[in-house]
Amino acid sequence: SSVLPFQSHQTESAQGDGDRRRRIGPMDERASRRVTTLASHLAGDRDVRLNPTAGSGSFRSWGRKRGADAILGSVHLAPDVAEAVRRGRPVVALESTIISHGMPYPDNLAMAREVEAIVRANGATPATIAIIDGVPRVGLTDDQLARLAELGPSARKVSRRDVASCIARGATGATTVSATMLLAHRAGVEVFVTGGVGGVHRDGHVTMDVSADLTELGKTPVCVVCAGAKSVLDIPRTLEYLETQGACVLGYGVDEFPAFFTRTSRCAAPGRVDSPREAAAVVKAGRVLGMGGTVLAVPIPAEHEADGAESERAIERALAEARERGISGNASTPFLLKRIRELTGGKSLESNVALVKNNARVGARV
């Protein structure tokens, strides 16, 4: 597999670097540096076991971690993902928390395999992202997918803040939206499919419980294709927070921002696109301007939409139980989704699987 370090280190002398800066502008310099670094790592260091100092600089002194075939802190691209990135072919990142924490086994494994197959069938290369034994991986083998699915909630739930710790401990963790965006961007992947983004939790104006997904969207140029924000959240405040972060939010074929299990939220989507080409044009324009991420909110197919009243009753009851049990922070969403699944007799799980598959089709076409 190919390896990309979290940072590139220049091998030129200080004088040579200064001369080069006088010849080209800072934006050209940064672009040249990224291309050079990407090309060298994708084309030249395909087997890090043959080149244990790949990444140079401070990574040399870190060495190997628990026998891993990577330098601590580097990002591994699966061979098919590396080849697609190198050739400029479409790649779709997929998060792994939905596998470990979002669904029970073996439904989670079946869903993960089906979603990857849908991405391939629509002309893109799937790249499920996770940290396996301390190695951030962009693209998993089927054995790694199965291991993560079997671990379930025993796997670490890794947000941006947890990435370095998980790597340093040699642990295995499933990445949330924020961590998946971070690692996808490091690998040169610009489109990412998930179920729903995190947001401001209900009573978040009191608890300050705001998902790191929202701040990541403000600074990391990745398009997140989702079914809107999870309906257990405070959607109006979530949209306000995304506006504050400067994240572009688009409804896909709709004027109303979808609410995960249902197509409606009573909140207007700030923008609208009606085709993958239109969505891609917005993402490209934002990238050229050096802006942050994009939320492409795709409503769940109407035939799979959960009954709004039933879902809302289940959500309210699950929220009340979470408050009674003192469940908060990153444990909230997995608990709520599990409890809603139980209260709806499994209907919410069916809806969840359907919306993720639909998002995968759209994301691959973008």
Which positions are annotated as active-site residues? 95, 230
Q: Are 75 and 183 in contact (CB under 8 A)?
A: yes
Cis omega before residue 299 (within 30°)?
no
d(CA 296, CA 273) in angstroms, rounded, equals: 9
Q: 285 CB contacts (<8 Å, ≥6 apart)?
A: none
Which residue do the tokens 């997918």 mark? Answer: 145
Distance between terminal CA atoms of the chain? 26
Measured CA to CA in angstroms, residue 84 lies from 69, 72, 174, 362 at distances of 22, 24, 23, 19
**How far is residue 225 from each of residues 164, 209, 234, 283, measured CA to CA in Å?**
26, 23, 19, 11
Q: How far is CA 131 from CA 28, 72, 212, in A?
A: 33, 12, 18
CB neighbourhood size of 177 (10 A): 28
Nearest to residue 364, comparing CAs of 183, 127, 186, 184?
A: 127
Question: In the chain, which ranges are E strands?
Answer: 2-4, 75-77, 91-94, 125-132, 135-138, 156-158, 173-175, 191-193, 223-226, 248-252, 271-273, 294-297
Tokens of 240: 């306000």
